[in-house]
Structure 1
Amino acid sequence: MTAHPSTSPSAVPHPDAARAADFIARWSGVAASELSTAQSFVRELCELLGVPVPHPTPELDYMFERPITFRHGDGSSSPGRIDCYRRGAFVLEAKKLRASADTRRFDDALLRARAQAEGYARALEPAELAAGGRPPFLLVVDVGQVIELYAEFTRSGATYTPFPDPRSHRIALADLARAEVRDTLRRIWLDPLGLDPARASARVTREVAAQLAELARSLETSGHAPQLVAAYLTRCLFSMFAEDVGLLPGAGEGGQGGQGAQSGQGDQGGFVTLLKRHRDDPVTLQRMLAALWADMDRGGFSVALAQTVLRFNGKLFKGAADDAYSLPLTRAQVDLLLAAARANWREVEPAIFGALLERALDPAERHALGAHYTPRAYVERLVLPAVMEPLRREWADAQAAALLLAHEAAELDGRPRDAKMDAARAELRRFHHRLCTLRVLDPACGSGNFLYVTLEHLKRLEGEVLNQLAALGETQNKLALEGETVTPQQLLGLEVNARAAALAELVLWIGYLQWHIRTRGDRAVAAVLAWSAQRPLLDAQGQPRTRWDGRTYTAHPATGEPVPDPAAQVPQWAYDQPRPADWPQADYIVGNPPFIGAAAMRAALGDGYVDALRSVWPDMPESADFVMYWWHAAARKVAAGQAQRFGFITTNSLRQTFNRRVVQSALNADLHLVYAIPDHPWVDSASGAAVRIAMTVAEPGAGEGRLQTVITETPGEHGEMTVQLREQTGLIHADLTVGPNLLSAQALRADLGLSNRGVQLFGAGFIVTPEQAAALRPTPALPTSGEGATTHLPRMGDVGKEMPTPALPTSGEGANTASLAPPPPRGGGWEGEIVRPYRNGRDLTDAPRGVLVIDLFGLDAEQVRSRYPAVYQWLLERVKPERDVKATTKDGAGYARLWWLFGKPRPEMRKQLAGLQRYIATVETAKHRTFQFLDASILPDNMLVAIASDDAFHLGVLSSRVHIPFPDADTGLTPALRQRIAERAEAIDAHRKQVLAQHPGTLTLTALYNVLDALRAGRALTPKERTVHQLGLVAVLAELHAELDAAVLAAYGWSDLAAPPRPLSTCGEGRGGETGAADLARAVTLTLLTRLLALNHARAAEEAAGTVRWLRPAFQHPQTNPVRPTQATLGMGVVGAHPIGAANPARSPEPPAQPWPSTLPEQMRAVADLLAASAQPLDLEALTSRFKGRGPWKKSLPRILETLEALG
């Protein structure tokens, strides 16, 4: 028998273990000062871990004493130094504390060190964050005693929390003897993001979901309904989890009690034992599992396991009498269950498990199982500011109050000391009670990922509170006897989908039980609409109305291409006595409501639902997206004082006109945005499709907020994007911007009627390749006169002649505005009339597809069939079926009636572009805002905005840093400047088109401007970017843009805002000047926006007085008076009168004194808020003058300031 290495006489300690023992012995009890020991300690620790030792570099990326600059509210700055910094990994703050590790003063000092380290992380300059991101770890080191770990994996500026949890984040010096501890520290140096538990859990979760999907498919093939399969597998997987975490005992042999399940080894648990024991007897297995689950529902002795089982309350195990409660399995299906059970269910990530499981169990969504999922970091990016940040502020107040009282207790003896300590603990218990009684609502909870992430962060915060209570002398026995803890009962979810609601319950069970506590779930109810009765919606003949289900396709019998299946119909419903849904009372509201655009609501929800919804929310714009109904309902709750704060994920179209009106209405009702991200990558939970979203968090009152902007996006392992964020602080407007309130800008008549979105097809069958178009071309040539003669179709460049038009609706969604007289052709022929070049956004920003589009505007169906029968059949088979199945909605009926025409043919745009040889186009949503000329023969897609001007001067102004209102004589525009702007615009347009044509497939417009941005930022180019730079002659493009910007700024009279010339090096620049350059650029932008806004207001006043500066007067207003006002008559002298960054000379009045708060935590918060809001430092006298009250409150101010300083 071989002896264990630890007891064998010949055993030799592992070299790493021996080195660790030497390190521990050498540093135990070191009494030297902090400065003389900290660097030596870190160097030797690096050698022990086998990681590089810090060294000074010009990049300042890994070094001791890294310099940093703190920016203060009064505009001043002060220097600081980070003890040890590693880019993208950690900030290390080292101390050498004289107190022993079990004293209160030791904990106080470590709290202060943690706050200092977090302050360093937040003070890192933007250029450093762009290079490496915010460090995910803080290390607080007391040399010779402990290393504390704190992490923040979202890297968005949220609070660093104890890692891996509040009970095990402190590594004692002796713990370095353990290999797993050294490995954790080594990974913090070399792979810090690899320690994010969500990443490892995500891999396990994807594997589990794939196995369950295969089993679900097999059970459905056996004839079981999908909803029954889903419920059955949900019970199975919870049983697997319960046995892996030790909550479900093992099965006894022969009626004898067996060994309990071992954590992480599912094949030893009771559930797996039953599967193996009865694998060949499906009837017995079916009965045994039913008996087990019934026992788990009520708790007590289980005959199936011959063991006592816990009671698992909730809906999960209800319904044991149902025949489908436990399904019969084949041997192959049992084997699939056993394979899934072998996974380590301890590592399943609840934050994404619900979404993946929903895909696995839903036959309609199973195809998306391998698609991307919503990463946990995305969810946290909203949950933290919406829920946790205000709670952590409350926790900081309570903690500060408790520490102040503990400090006072230390100066006393006997009963007074005990009373003070009791008061200190009472402050923490009050906060703990608050934490255990607050409620969080997700009114569209889906599979529960937002609720789970919230629950976990509440539990983490609770752990910190309990740790602090223990540090102040609260015994664990007393804490346990209190019986109060954070539970999922506080997490309220509304979800109309019963399967999703059950999964949400399961997610919370698993998440909560990962903290080793039992819980229950919530019920499924409607979210924004409730009703008394639901009945079928009938048509005029009294027959039930149906609509296409929106997801089922069938092969067309002639073409074989997928078309909507007309047999896949779902009923339309009418809703009696509709009313807004009653949401349960909650302190915080957070979630991700469904993304359904206003135009798609009827197709997705049905006419009856949409009509009822709009009737009970009459103050909502009809063009607002579905998600905005949730946003509006939550805003009303918060404004009425029924909730403290809410945060939602919405589509990034929240900034667009109709959605923005909902936000503006809330801001007008005394709410303000405390956090926002205008445009962020996201993953649709069902389909896995990549979408763009906005995040907003609001609370009552007026105030500023944090606006974060995505500056880089890096694809991750499973398609998720790792993003870096830039942050601004200020008043956040309804369009999710900070700075001048651009929403106050007024629409000017001067550019009225010159821009329009392109056509919207509503049918991919209109798009054809050149080869397909050639096959559709009519042969032989049709007669040119007499009956059956070809009538030329109206083109965008045609004017003047009336032509026959079909009977089109004149208003509403299907309107074609046919009253416009269709004009004759420019040249005639097949190309350019029936078939035209077609461009969408990607065609301009990336490689063009080279496709054509069939455009039959101006013809009725009979004319198309008689003149172009091949085209008619093409559309009849490819467009009409889709239009027909969607004809059950009001909009769809109009599109189906005119199926051979585009859904939105844009007659107004055609009129605007008539007579032009070219026009200006820009992509509605793109990374870079670029403008270019398109030939008039090209038909723009609805993702393009067509601007009806062929004037290169207009292109130049639009392509510059400055935007409309356009410069004119009143701003300093001269004929020479106008000519120079036009020439530079033509040169830029020609240069881009030339290099793109020379290198098709290699260069794109987006790639050119990515490199141009890098050159402007002084960033070194990657090898791929160097290729783009060389082939695209990007330095030439940069020079042309710089010359254009200078000319346009001169035309506005704002040459002081022209950027100074700088070399455009492909190797990048030194890092020293980047922060100052970025600050200057932001200041210039704010000044530019302020001046443009002032000019806009001046032009609006001018138009109100009767003078309009038409951009195309011959088209817009042929009778225009050519007389232009002078600058003096407009009072334009004020525009641009203040230098960049100049302060308003009027001094703000001294704010009135506020009442002194009654409780100690409120006093802490009031003083901290006042200090943070002040632009200048406040001394004790100035601080005292800002409060008023009775009693000796002034005496407590010095102690409060001392405590706040100690906590950073």
Structure 2
Amino acid sequence: MPGLAHRLAGFAAHAAALPGGGEADARAFCERLLRAFGWRSLRHAVFAPSTAAGEFDLTVSSTLWLALKPRGTDLAAHRQRAFEHWHDRTTHPRYVVLCNYSDLVVHDFNRQIWEPLDRLTITELPREHAALGFLLPDPRPPVFRNDRVAITRDAVDRLAAVFHLLVQRGVPRELARRFLLRRVFDLFAAAIDLAPHHSELFPDLEPLALTVEEQTHLHAAAARDWSRVELPVFGALFQRSMDRERRHAQGAHFTNEADIQRIVLPTLVRPWRQRIAAATSSEELLAVHHELARLRVLDPACGSGNFLYVAYRELLRLELELAERLRHESATPFSPRISVRNFFGLDTDPFAVELARVTLQLATRLALLELRPAFPVEPEPLTDLHDNLRAADALFTDWPAVDVILGNPPFQSKNKIQRELGPDYVRRLRRAFPEVSGLADYCVYWFRKAHDHLPIGGRAGLVGTNTIRQNNSRDSGLGHIVESGTITDAVASEVWSGDAAVHVSIVNWIKQPRAPGKKSLSWQTGDAAHSPWQTVELEQIGPSLSPHTDVSAARVLRANANAGRCYQGQTVGHEAFLLPPASARAMLRRARGNAAVILPFLIGDDLLGRADGSPSRWVIDFGDRDLHEAREFTAPFARIKTHVLPDREAAAAEELRRNADVLRTDARARVNRHHANFHEQWWRLSWRRGEMLAALAPLSRFAACVRVTKRPIFEFVSPQIRPSDALVVFAFDDDYSFGLLQSSVHWQWFTARCSTLKRDHRYTSSTVFDAFPWPQRPSSAEVVQVARAARHLRTVRARALQQLGCSRRELYRDLDASGRSPLRPAHDALDRAVRAAYGMPAGADPLRFLLDLNHELAAREAAGATIVGPGLAALAPGARLRVACRSRDCIEPA
């Protein structure tokens, strides 16, 4: 078979002969290209006409989108449209190639948007095909000639090496940072022919004598082509490389511009582009320009200034579009007026603020340099921007009056705020924002303050942890926003490209109730950076950021909350309470009485990952026994005393030290006794869940599922087994109750009402179970049918696990991936039985039905009426019905 270069030469000759205008030419071009790269089968390639006449698209899995234009097309003029089309697609192929039959322009919009990674002609392909290595059936890492991110990382590494050498030899960190920041400004300034203005930007900066090694690294950095260094990427990586724990940029993440554009496009670009397009005269265009030039933008957590840089450059592009319109409308003189002085930022890191000032200073030259061929104007004079960009905690600082707020506030879960920021800070936060729930995530404070600060008609776009759409965070943040504003565009969940390994939500809104127009909601369907996307258009987007019925307004039902049926499993608090089977059996053989305090312990991975679901470890649980009684169990007690007591003593002492620091500041402050309480009862589990054990005691078995999961898989468990806190436990032993819990009706309610951990759902009793309305008037026949369907499902499931030799996780993964599974008919039958028990009409939306029922039952409770609560017992069944809903299967100790 001919080599790759030979095949590409044949392709180039064929492409040169194509007129390059119609579908036949486009199809032949695409097929011959893939064949030349060695593709024998084209089943993974999709060829289709584009939205524009005479243009065609070729998509190859998640790797390539080739946008084929007619021969002679100026490809540079199509980059913006290509990026926005790629940005809005449900799938984001890694590489985007623009082609006009003679030229290829290669983009990776996740790395760099405005500059292609490579440009090459078709005739160059036989010898320059390394840039398209990703197109081979066995892909090779592509080699690009204009990878600006790679150049940027190398430059940062060199400067970071100088920084750490300076610090190691005793130069103060702040001086070393500012010294290198001045060098950065010099290098960029020289590359873009900008005269340095050190007196404005770096007053009173001490000179530093460098060692030979430091000079070597600095000269190597200076040798890079700084005109090709990506300024926003540089700022993010440079800031991180200055941290104490970071030595270089190669492993550091940065927020790619494609993600920044998920805020800048809907919040800034598209609303103003629509206004420009709607203007019908030069007078109207000039009025739009006047407003655009007065637009003020704030990033209250600006970091190194990436969001502000991108926003500034996009406003210049909008001004250019407006100028082009005016040029066509009339000969009206046009004077550019967009100013960097209309951009503002706050950040707690003084070095980040200095870096942001330099970023925006350079932006005035770099952006205009990029646009100058179409926009021949002189940049505004440099200014130090000290009044625009300030080092301060935005939550305790007055914000400047602005029209647009955008950015990426700090990520901090509600559970870590006190540990990371300290109890004194948390108290100040609660005093300043009493209307925000103490259980809300940190970023919620930023969302709420941003909305309250906006003028009527102002817009905002912020990134938050994806828990902002759940429970207390949702109610305090997005729930407040939609009371007087409208979410216009949102991402429910996305794998974030930034430094934090989290799933995020992105929310863009206008401070205007019921704003007209369709709203766009999208979400990523997997956990990988290149997972597919889904997008829907809605009349409105609720605070849950869900395309389904918004059930955030469901109310807690007293019949559920007071039933004592739903619990979290035991939290041991120290790993020494857990025993491997061999150690547990040895202790049990040594003293028969140890069986009272050594019990099988079931964790989530046992339930989902082991074929029989049995426990893989044991737990030492002294229960409510006092210290004297616990000592009677010699071996278990000795283990806990040796391993647990010292750690709890140390934790209590550290807590006491922290409390003393707090009380010195505020003698009336509330202090923590979390670890002190554990120390006082050091031989006991942290949270034994005695109330749960009391509820399970009279039962022959109990139902359980993993608490954090994509899909809840319920099983009955023997009461001889203790459940871990990785499980949510239901004090039911009848098949009717099991059937309700395992049904897709309950599953949909669960996913709509729960919180999440990354993309997995977390079952929370207060929001899921306590508000879940149970059937109110099922007939005896309907109850029995649910019980039978539940038993049948477990029978089919047990048989499949035995025959296939797999785990429950694997069994349900196949079901969810393809829908073809021995479980499918059994689950469908259960769902039909459950819907019948509810009296749910055919085709009804389960969430809407459940929400309406929830509101009806809450109203009846408020009026003093009694409703049917959870489980079979709430129906007051007769003896025959109770027998018909009983069985014995359950997970037993191994």
Q: What's the TM-score once normalised by structure 1's chain length?
A: 0.57
TM-fit CA distance, 1:944: 3.6
Task: Return the match for 1:393 from 267, 271, 274.
Answer: 274
Which residue does 2:506 correspond to in 1? 695
- Kindly tell me: are residues 1089 and 665 of structure 1, through their superposed partners in 2, closer, same or farther at Cα, counting changes over 3 Å? closer
Structure 1 contact 226–363 (Cα < 8 Å) conserved: no
Give the 5 Å matches for 1:710-859: 710-713=523-526, 715=528, 720-752=529-561, 753-760=564-571, 769-770=580-581, 781=591, 828-832=595-599, 836-840=600-604, 844=608, 850=616, 852-859=618-625
Give the 5 Å matches for 1:443-458: 443-458=300-315
Which residue does 1:76 correspond to in 2? none
Tell me, in whole angstroms, the C-alpha distance in 2 between the residues paired with 1:984 and 1:710: 35
Give the 5 Å matches for 1:651-662: 651-662=465-476
TM-fit CA distance, 1:709: 4.2
1:585 matched to 2:437? The reply is no
Which residue does 2:392 correspond to in 1? 526
1:669 matched to 2:483? The reply is yes
TM-fit CA distance, 1:86: 1.6
1:977 matched to 2:777? The reply is no
Tell me, in whole angstroms, the C-alpha distance in 1 between the residues paired with 2:589 and 2:486: 66
Task: Return the match for 2:673 from 868, 893, 910.
Answer: 893
Tell me, in whole angstroms, the C-alpha distance in 2 between the residues paired with 1:368 and 1:855: 48
- Aligned to 2:699, what secondary structure does the other structure show? coil
Structure 1 contact 360–369 (Cα < 8 Å) conserved: no
Residues matched between the structures, number:
799
TM-fit CA distance, 1:968: 5.2
Tell me, in whole angstroms, the C-alpha distance in 2 between the residues paired with 1:339 and 1:830: 66
Tell me, in whole angstroms, the C-alpha distance in 2 between the residues paired with 1:226 and 1:92: 52
Which residue does 1:381 correspond to in 2? 262
Give the 5 Å matches for 1:227-246: 227-246=174-193
1:630 matched to 2:388? The reply is no
1:1014 matched to 2:803? The reply is no
Task: Return the match for 2:163 from 198, 209, 216.
Answer: 216
Tell me, in whole angstroms, the C-alpha distance in 2 between the residues paired with 1:123 and 1:364: 37
The residue type paired with residue 318 of structure 2 is L
1:870 matched to 2:635? The reply is no
Tell me, in whole angstroms, the C-alpha distance in 1 between the residues paired with 2:571 and 2:362: 46
- Aligned to 1:1111, what secondary structure does the other structure show? coil
TM-fit CA distance, 1:591: 1.6
Structure 2 contact 469–545 (Cα < 8 Å) conserved: yes
Task: Return the match for 1:1093 from 845, 851, 854.
Answer: 851
Tell me, in whole angstroms, the C-alpha distance in 1 between the residues paired with 2:784 and 2:11: 80
Which residue does 1:318 correspond to in 2? 203
The residue type paired with residue 697 of structure 1 is N
TM-fit CA distance, 1:695: 1.7
Which residue does 2:737 correspond to in 1? 954
Task: Return the match for 2:413 from 585, 597, 613.
Answer: 597
TM-fit CA distance, 1:769: 4.6
The residue type paired with residue 733 of structure 2 is D
- Aligned to 2:674, what secondary structure does the other structure show? helix
- Kindly tell me: are residues 779 and 914 of structure 1, through their superposed partners in 2, closer, same or farther at Cα, counting changes over 3 Å? closer
- Kindly tell me: are residues 58 and 215 of structure 1, through their superposed partners in 2, closer, same or farther at Cα, counting changes over 3 Å? closer
Could you list the per-position Cα deviations for residues 591-640 of structure 1 after superposition, in whole angstroms to 9, with x for gaps in the alignment? 221222333322222232222222222222222222111111112123x5
1:913 matched to 2:722? The reply is no
TM-fit CA distance, 1:644: 0.9
- Kindly tell me: are residues 1111 and 882 of structure 1, through their superposed partners in 2, closer, same or farther at Cα, counting changes over 3 Å? same
Tell me, in whole angstroms, the C-alpha distance in 1 between the residues paired with 2:361 and 2:414: 36
The residue type paired with residue 746 of structure 1 is R
The residue type paired with residue 319 of structure 1 is D
Structure 1: runs of 5 or more not aligned: 1-13, 28-36, 69-79, 102-109, 156-160, 249-294, 299-312, 406-422, 531-580, 785-791, 793-827, 1017-1033, 1058-1083, 1124-1208
Tell me, in whole angstroms, the C-alpha distance in 1 between the residues paired with 2:204 and 2:260: 34
Tell me, in whole angstroms, the C-alpha distance in 1 between the residues paired with 2:401 and 2:813: 48
Structure 2 contact 495–527 (Cα < 8 Å) conserved: no
TM-fit CA distance, 1:438: 1.4
Could you list the per-position Cα deviations for residues 107-145 of structure 1 after superposition, in whole angstroms to 9, with x for gaps in the alignment? xxx99x999x99999998xxxx46x76996788x8x9xx
Which residue does 1:1146 correspond to in 2? none
Could you list the per-position Cα deviations for residues 1061-1106 of structure 1 after superposition, in whole angstroms to 9, with x for gaps in the alignment? xxxxxxxxxxxxxxxxxxxxxxx6xx23222333333444554452
TM-fit CA distance, 1:645: 1.2
Which residue does 1:1138 correspond to in 2? none
Which residue does 2:340 correspond to in 1? 488
The residue type paired with residue 869 of structure 2 is W
- Aligned to 1:740, what secondary structure does the other structure show? coil
The residue type paired with residue 681 of structure 1 is V
Tell me, in whole angstroms, the C-alpha distance in 2 between the residues paired with 1:988 and 1:232: 70
1:503 matched to 2:355? The reply is yes
Could you list the per-position Cα deviations for residues 855-913 of structure 1 after superposition, in whole angstroms to 9, with x for gaps in the alignment? 45525567657851331220133444345424536574223332335554444433333
- Kindly tell me: are residues 1089 and 710 of structure 1, through their superposed partners in 2, closer, same or farther at Cα, counting changes over 3 Å? same
Structure 1 contact 960–1048 (Cα < 8 Å) conserved: yes
Could you list the per-position Cα deviations for residues 923-960 of structure 1 after superposition, in whole angstroms to 9, with x for gaps in the alignment? 44433343333444554454543222233332222222
TM-fit CA distance, 1:751: 3.1
- Kindly tell me: are residues 711 and 497 of structure 1, through their superposed partners in 2, closer, same or farther at Cα, counting changes over 3 Å? closer
The residue type paired with residue 983 of structure 1 is R
Structure 1 contact 150–163 (Cα < 8 Å) conserved: no
- Aligned to 1:203, what secondary structure does the other structure show? helix
- Kindly tell me: are residues 770 and 616 of structure 1, through their superposed partners in 2, closer, same or farther at Cα, counting changes over 3 Å? same
- Aligned to 2:464, what secondary structure does the other structure show? strand
Could you list the per-position Cα deviations for residues 32-73 of structure 1 after superposition, in whole angstroms to 9, with x for gaps in the alignment? xxxxx53466478769989879x9x9979544658x9xxxxx
The residue type paired with residue 1046 of structure 1 is R
- Aligned to 1:977, what secondary structure does the other structure show? helix
Which residue does 2:763 correspond to in 1? none
TM-fit CA distance, 1:363: 0.9
1:38 matched to 2:38? The reply is no
1:435 matched to 2:292? The reply is yes
Structure 2 contact 237–254 (Cα < 8 Å) conserved: yes
Tell me, in whole angstroms, the C-alpha distance in 2 between the residues paired with 1:189 and 1:1112: 56
- Kindly tell me: are residues 20 and 1035 of structure 1, through their superposed partners in 2, closer, same or farther at Cα, counting changes over 3 Å? closer
1:965 matched to 2:765? The reply is no
- Kindly tell me: are residues 652 and 464 of structure 1, through their superposed partners in 2, closer, same or farther at Cα, counting changes over 3 Å? same
Give the 5 Å matches for 1:102-113: none
The residue type paired with residue 227 of structure 1 is E
Could you list the per-position Cα deviations for residues 798-818 of structure 1 after superposition, in whole angstroms to 9, with x for gaps in the alignment? xxxxxxxxxxxxxxxxxxxxx
1:84 matched to 2:48? The reply is no
- Kindly tell me: are residues 358 and 488 of structure 1, through their superposed partners in 2, closer, same or farther at Cα, counting changes over 3 Å? same
TM-fit CA distance, 1:650: 1.6
- Aligned to 1:946, what secondary structure does the other structure show? strand
Structure 1 contact 91–135 (Cα < 8 Å) conserved: no
TM-fit CA distance, 1:445: 1.8
Structure 1 contact 883–895 (Cα < 8 Å) conserved: yes
The residue type paired with residue 567 of structure 2 is N
- Aligned to 2:398, what secondary structure does the other structure show? coil
Structure 1 contact 49–186 (Cα < 8 Å) conserved: no
Which residue does 1:273 correspond to in 2? none
Q: What's the TM-score once normalised by structure 2's chain length?
A: 0.75
- Kindly tell me: are residues 473 and 853 of structure 1, through their superposed partners in 2, closer, same or farther at Cα, counting changes over 3 Å? farther
Q: Root-mean-square deviation (CA), in Å?
A: 5.1
